[in-house]
Amino acid sequence: MDVQKPFSSPSPRQFAAPAIMMVRPFLLKPQWMNGLSERLLVSHYVNNYGGAIRRLNAIRARLAALDWAAAPGFEINGLKREELIASGSVILHEIYFESLGGHGDNPPTGLEEPSVELAQALERDFGSVMAWRVEFTAMAKALAGGSGWTILAWCERLGRLVNHWAADHAHGLPGATPILAIDMYEHSYHLDFGAKAAAYVDQVMANLNWQRIGARYRLATAEGAGEDKLFVPYGAPEHEEARISAEELKAALEDDVDRRPVLLDLCLPKDLPRRTDMLAGATMHAPAALPRWIEELPRDRPIAVYCVCGFQVSGTAVTELRRRGYNARALIGGITAWHAIGGATVPMDISTYEKAT
Ligand SMILES: [Fe+2]
């Protein structure tokens, strides 16, 4: 696999730069959302978002090998259309998931409103925040029984925020930057809501993270300096060199045996029922038993630590391991991101897991 920086970690906002499209982690805590189940969110992230990433990388590989002068038009047309659709699906799913979730360990309240700056922009362009909200949710609900996206976007040429519909992941207003997107494909709600798309739209609106949406608006209007930290998972190590992406870990595990990272699977006791599998060769431990398992870790090998989604369980442990001189990195997005890139796993083995004492 062609990954530019093996065993290092780009910032989340630079993920598009490498030769392959890299997965972004959940910023939301899927087990703590209001009225959107973990099963729904994880299935959507792993299968639909992850599927789009995997498809886009496969299409790019085909395009890289294409003989453009000799290829028939139908082959060029087909690949370039599919590339556009997969690219749009990846980017819109990232905007959708990053717009959801609470702050840190807190679930979304459902009561928050846009920041003053974004509220003023919505008022300027739609009359009031409520008028924008009525239009936006009506547009999303109108897609019930169909599919597509409802998008709030900033358009420099029009000089305003606009609500627009998008079909096939490939429908955009030229020159506009999406700020917020609601996925209206049935896969985004059917597990929890059946065909009740309107109830799903209301629940999405109650789970919005206006801090990140506001940051996205400032980034779109080129006033977003210093916003990057909002797009790093809560509790993940602060420094980039202490994090590793799923793609980089996959490449590192294909390295020579003596240079491969040692894999450490950390799981809180209460999260064990959420787990079914693990990375091959990983050893599973309880985070609280660190004084016992740390003695088994080598000092001359890189160590990759992962948890469910890559929040503070692996983040706290990696910070502590690095403080003690170990070459440890936390897997960005945890085993959930690993699933999204199609990484192989084996059934969970808890034989090394410390019993509560
Ligand atoms: Fe989706």
Amino acid, single-letter form, for residue 279: L
pLDDT-derived band at 112 (thresholds 50, 70, 90) equals confident
Category of 291 on φ-ψ map: left (φ > 0), alpha (ψ -120 to 50) or beta: alpha
pLDDT-derived band at 2 (thresholds 50, 70, 90) equals very low
- 189 or 2: whose pLDDT is higher? 189
Is 80 exceeded by the pLDDT of residue 10? Answer: no
The per-residue pLDDT for range 69-95, each reduced to its tens digit, is 999 999 999 999 999 999 999 999 999
Enter the tokens of residue 232: 């790093």
SS3 for 331?
strand
The per-residue pLDDT for range 152-180, each reduced to its tens digit, is 999 999 999 999 999 989 889 999 999 99
State in Å: Cα 295 to ligand 1 middle: 43
State in Å: Cα 48 to ligand 1 middle: 6
State in Å: Cα 270 to ligand 1 middle: 29
State in Å: Cα 182 to ligand 1 middle: 9
Average of per-residue pLDDT across 258-277: 94
State in Å: Cα 207 to ligand 1 middle: 16
State in Å: Cα 299 to ligand 1 middle: 42
Average of per-residue pLDDT across 5-34: 69
State in Å: Cα 304 to ligand 1 middle: 30
Instruction: Compute the Cα dihedral for 329, 335, 338, 343 and give only its sign.
Output: positive
Average of per-residue pLDDT across 317-346: 97
pLDDT reported for residue 146 = 87
pLDDT-derived band at 18 (thresholds 50, 70, 90) equals low
State in Å: Cα 338 to ligand 1 middle: 18
With 0-12 CB in 10 A as exposed, 13-18 as middle and 19+ as buried, what is 77? exposed
State in Å: Cα 92 to ligand 1 middle: 8
State in Å: Cα 37 to ligand 1 middle: 15
Amino acid, single-letter form, for residue 155: C
State in Å: Cα 15 to ligand 1 middle: 20
